[in-house]
């Protein structure tokens, strides 16, 4: 296991957990980077990648949980891990698209796995 891996060493009692199942956990990121919400779906195991089917399940979970967490926003994105500081432990970050956020430029440079529209979301 990754002893020095930040995602393996999360103190879950101190984190805001939005969803958990045997394979994945969805929680708020430590640094919100100026967003009202910024969350990630993390594999519970220290694995570098997931197979195609599992990836699909994870995306479905990310979308469903994201629709609740980002209910305030018109849309949110599930981002690719291109700029992730932790590359050895599978996770995807989800964020709203607040243009005043600290990482907005980086969000625009990142490949988006999926954009999810919220019918009811209006503003940040
Ligand atoms: Zn890990």
Output the pLDDT for position 43.
97
Domain that holds residue 84: 12-117
- Predicted TM-score (pTM) of this structure: 0.91
Q: How far apart are CA 38 and CA 29, in angstroms?
A: 6
Distance of CA 24 from the midpoint of ligand 1 (Å): 12
Angle at 110 between CA 1 and CA 65, to 5 degrees: 65
Distance of CA 113 from the midpoint of ligand 1 (Å): 22
CATH number at residue 28: 3.30.428.10
Q: Is there a domain that residue 80 lies in? A: yes
More confident residue, 50 or 124: 50
Q: Is there a domain that residue 93 lies in? A: yes
Cα–Cα distances in angstroms (integers) from residue 122 to residues 40, 48, 101, 115, in the given order: 22, 36, 17, 16
Output the pLDDT for position 81.
84
Output the pLDDT for position 101.
97
Domains held by the chain: number? 1
Q: Is there a domain that residue 36 lies in? A: yes
Q: How far apart are CA 82 and CA 103, in angstroms?
A: 14
State the DSSP code for 43: E
Distance of CA 83 from the midpoint of ligand 1 (Å): 17
Mean model confidence pLDDT for the chain: 92
Question: pLDDT tens digits, residue range 67-118?
Answer: 999 999 999 999 998 778 888 999 999 999 999 999 999 999 999 999 999 8
């Amino acid at each position: 296991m990754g002893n020095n891996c930040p995602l393996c060493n999360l103190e879950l009692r101190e984190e805001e957990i939005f969803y958990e199942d045997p394979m994945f956990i969805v929680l708020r990121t430590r640094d919100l980077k100026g967003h009202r919400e910024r969350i990630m779906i993390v594999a519970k195991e220290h694995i570098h990648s997931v197979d195609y089917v599992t990836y699909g399940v994870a995306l479905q979970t990310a979308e469903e949980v994201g629709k609740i967490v980002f209910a305030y926003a018109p849309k949110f994105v599930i981002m690719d891990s291109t700029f992730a500081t932790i590359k050895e432990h599978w996770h995807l970050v989800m964020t709203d698209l607040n243009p005043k956020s600290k990482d907005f430029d980086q969000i625009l440079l990142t490949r988006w796995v999926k954009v999810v529209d919220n019918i009811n979301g209006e503003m940040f």
